[in-house]
Amino acid sequence: MAVRAVRGAVQLEQDEAGHMDEQVGALLTAIMERNELTPDDLISIWFTATPDLHSDFPAAAARKLGIVDVPLICAQELDIEGAMPRVVRVLAHIESDRPRADIAHVYLGAAAALRKDIAQ
């Protein structure tokens, strides 16, 4: 079994804890489903949030989904002028037999504009 990395992002409509839980939960669910993962396949997950998000930790959404024994960490994105606002990004380390080229990276909604080079 190989160690792989899966990327993803979602743009929030507003900085509100319930909305963050919903949107980050949808992102994690899509990553898990599209890559046919179970929580046992997860090694760790890094979350970043743009500096304009203050309402909650993105990792809290993972815990609410039942991802409770996986190391999670949150960090702040660089504050780059002109960057897309209200974005949560994910970098998940997983165990998978899939070739690297077959890993499905997930960019939901407006965040798809961040990586036009990755087929959705």
Q: Could you list the residues known to form a binding site for prephenate, using ranges.
A: 7, 89, 107
Q: Note the Cα 114 to chain centre separation in Å.
A: 13
Give the annotated binding-site residues. 7, 89, 107
Phi-psi region of 87 (alpha: psi -120 to 50; beta: other; left: phi over 0): beta
Residue 61 to residue 115: CA distance in whole angstroms: 23
In this structure, what token pair is assigned to residue 83?
């960057």
In this structure, what token pair is assigned to residue 119?
């087929």
Residue 37 to residue 21: CA distance in whole angstroms: 20
